Amino acid sequence: MLSTMPCHPCRALLLIHHSPIDVTFDITAMYWSLSSLSSFFFRTRGLHRLGQRIGGGVATSTTLPKTPRHDARIAWITAPNREVAELIGSGLVEGKLAACVSTIPGVQSTYRWRGKLEHDEEILLMVKTQASLIPKIIAFVEEKHPYDSPEVITTKIEEGRQEYLDWVRENTVGEEGEEKQ
């Protein structure tokens, strides 16, 4: 068990690696198990791993979050040629659905389509955006893309330079339909 020292009713001072971390949560007990703390930090701070051993009330290993919470995503879209790639990329940036679209030519795709093995050279678009805009991006691509089933997949950006992630947010349209400034 790790011991916490109350600072005031809803705060605790935790010692991890001999460094105090001020956390806010509902203290119902003076002692927390390591699994309770791991769960709390993972959910609230992005702290992915607390040490497996404790000694003298101090966790022996931590991984601290490098980037505050954000909504940034990368959407990956393939296009059959430069014209389609430019149409989609420009449209997403002009419509503030994406802050930036990087065009990567010469991608070799191998896939099965209607029972036949296909090999095509495509252009890959790397779209920097926000999670809340993904449905609008999918709708835009479905409208503009010549494929019956265009590829639009996304990945969460786990970490990144905060100034860049802020720039992505500021240069896209948020959930309310207004620019984030």
Model confidence pLDDT, tens digit, residues 36-90: 555 555 555 554 444 434 444 444 444 444 555 789 999 999 999 999 999 999 9
pLDDT (0 to 100) of residue 67: 52
CA distance 153 to 78: 10
Q: What's the CATH fold of domain 72-170?
A: Alpha-Beta Plaits (3.30.70)
Could you state, in order of their start, the residue ranges of all structural domains in the chain? 2-63, 72-170
pLDDT (0 to 100) of residue 41: 55
Exposed (0-12), middle (13-18) or buried (19+): which is 56, by Cβ within 10 Å? exposed
pLDDT more than 90, % of the chain: 54
- Please give the mean pLDDT across all residues of the chain: 76
Q: Strand pairing of 31-32 and 54-55?
A: unpaired
78 residue type, one letter = T
Tokens of 178: 């207004």
pLDDT (0 to 100) of residue 69: 72
Model confidence pLDDT, tens digit, residues 21-41: 555 444 444 444 555 555 555
Partner residues linked to 82 by β-bridges: none
CA distance 162 to 143: 33
